[in-house]
Chains A and B, each alone.
Chain A
């Protein structure tokens, strides 16, 4: 987030549309996310030039081309690294990273975990469709075991990442999950992410109608969604359908509300300092999505990397005449003069 909010004339969603023709497949979940982001961005209260979107490679990474902000479509997996350079050197900008499950968790896994560990002021939107779409349908690091694809004709034998567990293990200060198809929820999460100072990691379940259609159907179908989705609300007991969440062993467990004393139902608090709580939440759902929490899992304050770096530079550089300082540097230590 930028330091200074400008007194901007009220921008509309259409002001954030670029002149480029959107070229995702018909029915792609990315369209819904794009529309949600475009209609959310005016809420930032920033001029368009103060916003920068950086992406890697993959279907989701075409995103910046379709926004009338500054945009950089970079290299597979490297967007968090490039964005770190921009965020550290340009505190006046709001810097967003758009990435996918292959981009962020496979080829770019290292950059993601280190950006989160450092708490760089970036908003990272991970579109998780559990498949490689741009390369026409190979299994990804979030595909379930047994996934049948062109590169796994007998079923994938890979174990998938749980992206939220990974982010939490990387010391992320803000971790959330939302759905492409739920615009109101998506925008609510974006709002919270934008307000967070530091790295905000948002996993967006996104449907790929071509190579992995219906991957999140259980969360969308009116017949199954209410018993599958756990909507996390800060300060509220965690309940959904006729079920609730209680502590169990080292973690959390879903139980029938009727079997549980109301006082034992876990009350959600995203600012719990110990990441073990949010981690336990992230473990409620597996690849089958049976009990899938959405919303803000974790939202805690920690000094940001970029501010730390800048503070040191500002402290050292304030009031320094650089040319004079260079003269002194060159003549520092042992020198001698030849006449």
Chain B
């Protein structure tokens, strides 16, 4: 009989060759865990190559999940459990594993040839390499093949089900139900029922292996987390972002038009929105990044909610068109799912180094609003906000997600669709001025005095025919104007419009009643790791205040006042100090301390906690 032990949290990493199906295994384990009511956070990590040479270190793909009976903020700094499908997976991930951690290893792949391929002179399962760990050496492949011997599947297909065997085993170890995965497999292999049943048999065989083998003396349970009441689902950032765009179409009553060109890690947004035609969402896979944003802008001119989604290299190509949108003053949503750069950089790894490009990476004075989601589920809300600003102020809005948020997942308490914000717009339908002869005319650049937004008259509106373009426009009439004073006025007016965008105040989290002298200020996906680090410090009795910027341009009006309350502001960023630079410029006199790393990986909460403590200690 196995012992069942209760845990409050655990971090598991599944690692294997990129052909081993580790992302799928991780996704299914996540779904089982979500269903059980644990809070969770995930971190997929995979190579840029679709199929790097089998069994090599560059070919290793992994999926990490952190789940707990309390609310958690990150996918975990260090895994406590490693599932290694081959020597490469073991070698690539071992140094991350917590001392004393558990390793489940597929012994079938530990052949001399495979060991040599990754530089192991001796078999680590046989020497003292793993003596600090609890190792479960399991012949995952041969056990799977044996379990499927009565199925009408080839040996190769049977062997491919070993990831399900592993999932079954780990599901048993952590008391996860597998029924939903069985359903999933039946759906996934609908056309090949034999393969579906073989995978289910492998899953069950893995579970039974844990249950009957004495090698696994202990089984764990992680009770559900005490989350706020509501209905939850698990969601990745890219999915939430696509749903947020869909919701913005519903909330505005406008058709959504997405122009996109495939690029990692943003393509999933195109895939997801392509499935949502029933919402009146049109997706155009354009010939290039420039055409993608061009088509979106053309659709915006025609009265749609124009959207384009990409990553850094693609955004660079769209820059000229975004400037045109600034000049035309039309709504446009631009999503940059940041990845490590420059150039191709590390296309599947995360970074926050496009902030300055988002702010200034255009020709001429071309300010736009810039927003950044702070977690996967926040992508939904941020797109609604981005759409509100774009439509209300007739401006491009850049949203800075990143690879960590895009592919990471977390439970999301579903919002009430009845509470969707009203972001509808009124198109111009009547002349709004008179010409010199006193005749009614349409003035396309006659602004709303409060928002400075210009009227949006879509083609097809009788009597409001007008011409707009990239050439500087005369105030009010929009006619071509080369007048120096007019240009100065228009540049300043466009800047004032963006500076005046209404954004909510910065929320300050400082429970120490004046004790804290240091504020940690982040933006984007560092929200989770910073939050976990701040928790750790407060648990140790170290006072620290925190705030997080979701609105980077314009920044919330109370930002200066919040920063001024503290002796110093620490800004962790996955870049070399871009927000730091903006803060030093915008709020001179503030002591801004950057904490910067560009490893293509999110910060761990431990390193942040140490870094923050160091700053506080040294005052």
Task: Specify which chain B residues have a CB less than 8 angstroms from the CB of A339 in the assembled complex.
Answer: 229
Does B476 belong to the interface (CB within 8 Å)?
Answer: no
Q: Once the chains bind, are B299 and A89 in contact (CB under 8 Å)?
A: yes
Does B303 belong to the interface (CB within 8 Å)?
Answer: yes
Q: Once the chains bind, are A330 and B233 in contact (CB under 8 Å)?
A: yes
Q: A69-B465, A84-B298, A88-B282 are in contact. Are A323 and B250 (CB under 8 A)?
A: yes
Query: How many Å lie between the Cα of A334 and that of B31 in the bound state?
Result: 7
Q: A68-B465, A309-B284 are in contact. Are A338 and B229 (CB under 8 A)?
A: yes
One of B247, B304, B464 near A326 (C-beta < 8 A): B247
Which residue in chain A gives the minimum CB-CB distance to B328? A72
List the one stretch of A49-57, A149-157, A282-290, A296-304 in contact with chain B.
Answer: A49-57
Q: Once the chains bind, are A85 and B298 in contact (CB under 8 Å)?
A: yes
One of B233, B255, B295, B479 near A335 (C-beta < 8 A): B233
Q: Once the chains bind, are B232 and A336 in contact (CB under 8 Å)?
A: yes
Interface string of B187-224 (1 = CB under 8 A from A): 00000000000000000000000000000000000001
Q: Once the chains bind, are B414 and A110 in contact (CB under 8 Å)?
A: no
Q: A74-B469, A313-B280, A317-B279 are in contact. Are A85 and B257 (CB under 8 A)?
A: yes
Does B475 belong to the interface (CB within 8 Å)?
Answer: no
Task: Specify which chain B residues have a CB less than 8 angstroms from the CB of A270 in the assembled complex.
Answer: none
Q: Once the chains bind, are B295 and A88 in contact (CB under 8 Å)?
A: yes
Residues from 1 to 58 in A contacting B, C-beta threshold 8 Å? 18-20, 47-50, 52, 54, 57
Q: Once the chains bind, are A89 and B304 in contact (CB under 8 Å)?
A: yes
Which residue in chain A gives the minimum CB-CB distance to B255? A89
In the complex, how many angstroms separate the beta carbon of B548 from the nearest chain A beta carbon? 25
Does B246 belong to the interface (CB within 8 Å)?
Answer: yes
One of B229, B250, B298, B328 near A322 (C-beta < 8 A): B250
Contact residues on B (Cβ < 8 Å of other chain), bracket:
35 or more
List the one stretch of B156-164, B286-294, B510-518 in contact with chain A.
Answer: B286-294
In the complex, how many angstroms separate the beta carbon of B52 from the nearest chain A beta carbon? 31
Q: A323-B420, A337-B232 are in contact. Are A75 and B320 (CB under 8 A)?
A: yes
Interface string of B443-475 (1 = CB under 8 A from A): 000000000000000011111111111110000
Task: Specify which chain A residues have a CB less than 8 angstroms from the CB of B287 in the assembled complex.
Answer: 81, 110-111, 114
One of A19, A49, A310 near B462 (C-beta < 8 A): A49
Residues from 479 to 513 in B contacting A, C-beta threshold 8 Å? 479-480
Q: Once the chains bind, are A326 and B250 in contact (CB under 8 Å)?
A: yes
Does B333 belong to the interface (CB within 8 Å)?
Answer: no
Q: Once the chains bind, are B291 and A111 in contact (CB under 8 Å)?
A: yes
Q: A78-B291, A85-B259, A88-B257 are in contact. Are A338 and B232 (CB under 8 A)?
A: yes
Does B249 belong to the interface (CB within 8 Å)?
Answer: yes
Interface string of B270-307 (1 = CB under 8 A from A): 00000011111110101110110011111111111010
Q: A70-B466, A73-B467, A335-B232 are in contact. Are A330 and B306 (CB under 8 A)?
A: no
Q: Once the chains bind, are A73 and B468 in contact (CB under 8 Å)?
A: yes
Task: Specify which chain B residues have a CB less than 8 angstroms from the CB of A135 in the assembled complex.
Answer: none
Task: Specify which chain B residues have a CB less than 8 angstroms from the CB of A317 in the assembled complex.
Answer: 277-280
Q: Once the chains bind, are A330 and B414 in contact (CB under 8 Å)?
A: yes
Task: Specify which chain A residues have a CB less than 8 angstroms from the CB of B277 in the assembled complex.
Answer: 312-313, 315-317
Does B48 belong to the interface (CB within 8 Å)?
Answer: no
Q: Once the chains bind, are B230 and A338 in contact (CB under 8 Å)?
A: yes
Query: How many Å lie between the Cα of A301 and that of B479 in the bound state?
Result: 40
Q: Once the chains bind, are A89 and B302 in contact (CB under 8 Å)?
A: yes
Does A64 belong to the interface (CB within 8 Å)?
Answer: yes
Interface string of B1-38 (1 = CB under 8 A from A): 00000000000000000000000000000010011010
Q: Once the chains bind, are B470 and A74 in contact (CB under 8 Å)?
A: yes
Does B618 belong to the interface (CB within 8 Å)?
Answer: no
Q: Once the chains bind, are A88 and B284 in contact (CB under 8 Å)?
A: yes
Query: How many Å lie between the Cα of A339 and that of B459 in the bound state?
Result: 51
One of B290, B306, B462, B463 near A85 (C-beta < 8 A): B306
Task: Specify which chain A residues have a CB less than 8 angstroms from the CB of B288 in the assembled complex.
Answer: 110
Query: How many Å lie between the Cα of A93 and that of B303 in the bound state?
Result: 12
Residues from 304 to 324 in B contacting A, C-beta threshold 8 Å? 304, 306, 320-321, 324
Task: Specify which chain A residues have a CB less than 8 angstroms from the CB of B462 in the assembled complex.
Answer: 47, 49
One of B229, B234, B306, B460 near A92 (C-beta < 8 A): B460
Q: Once the chains bind, are A330 and B415 in contact (CB under 8 Å)?
A: yes
One of B246, B284, B294, B303 near A111 (C-beta < 8 A): B294
Task: Specify which chain A residues have a CB less than 8 angstroms from the CB of B320 in the assembled complex.
Answer: 75
Q: Once the chains bind, are B278 and A325 in contact (CB under 8 Å)?
A: yes
Which residue in chain B gives the minimum CB-CB distance to A114? B287
Q: Once the chains bind, are B34 and A336 in contact (CB under 8 Å)?
A: yes
Q: Once the chains bind, are A334 and B294 in contact (CB under 8 Å)?
A: no
Does A263 belong to the interface (CB within 8 Å)?
Answer: no
Which residue in chain B gives the minimum CB-CB distance to A57? B470
Interface string of B403-422 (1 = CB under 8 A from A): 00000000000110100100
Query: How many Å lie between the Cα of A331 and that of B415 in the bound state?
Result: 10
Does B227 belong to the interface (CB within 8 Å)?
Answer: yes
Query: How many Å lie between the Cα of A72 and that of B343 in the bound state?
Result: 33
Which residue in chain A gives the minimum CB-CB distance to B283? A309
Task: Specify which chain A residues have a CB less than 8 angstroms from the CB of B243 in the assembled complex.
Answer: 329-330
Does A327 belong to the interface (CB within 8 Å)?
Answer: yes
Query: How many Å lie between the Cα of A88 and that of B297 in the bound state?
Result: 12
Does A280 belong to the interface (CB within 8 Å)?
Answer: no
Q: Once the chains bind, are A89 and B257 in contact (CB under 8 Å)?
A: yes
Q: Once the chains bind, are B414 and A89 in contact (CB under 8 Å)?
A: no
Q: Once the chains bind, are A64 and B469 in contact (CB under 8 Å)?
A: yes
Q: Once the chains bind, are A331 and B233 in contact (CB under 8 Å)?
A: yes
Q: A93-B302, A326-B250, A327-B417 are in contact. Are A49 and B35 (CB under 8 A)?
A: no
Query: How many Å lie between the Cα of A315 and that of B261 in the bound state?
Result: 24
Q: A320-B279, A326-B417 are in contact. Are A70 and B459 (CB under 8 A)?
A: yes
In the complex, how many angstroms separate the beta carbon of A332 from the nearest chain B beta carbon? 8
Task: Specify which chain B residues have a CB less than 8 angstroms from the CB of A131 in the assembled complex.
Answer: none
Q: Once the chains bind, are A88 and B299 in contact (CB under 8 Å)?
A: yes
Does A65 belong to the interface (CB within 8 Å)?
Answer: yes
Query: How many Å lie between the Cα of A334 and that of B34 in the bound state?
Result: 8
Task: Specify which chain A residues have a CB less than 8 angstroms from the CB of B232 in the assembled complex.
Answer: 335-338
Query: How many Å lie between the Cα of A68 and that of B229 in the bound state?
Result: 59
Cβ-closest 5 pairs across A and B = A73-B469, A85-B298, A81-B294, A85-B295, A71-B467
A residues sitting closer than 8 Å to B (CB atoms) are: 18-20, 47-50, 52, 54, 57, 64-65, 67-75, 78, 81-90, 92-93, 110-111, 114, 309-310, 312-313, 315-317, 320, 322-323, 325-327, 329-331, 333-339
Q: What are 21 sample pairs from A and B whose C-beta atoms fall under 8 A apart?
A: A50-B459, A54-B298, A71-B468, A72-B467, A72-B469, A78-B290, A83-B298, A85-B298, A111-B290, A313-B280, A316-B277, A323-B417, A330-B233, A331-B231, A334-B34, A334-B233, A335-B231, A336-B34, A336-B35, A336-B232, A338-B224
With A70-B459, A75-B321, A78-B294 already in contact, 10 other A-B pairs whose C-beta atoms are closer than 8 Å: A20-B479, A57-B470, A70-B466, A81-B287, A85-B296, A86-B298, A110-B287, A330-B243, A335-B233, A338-B224
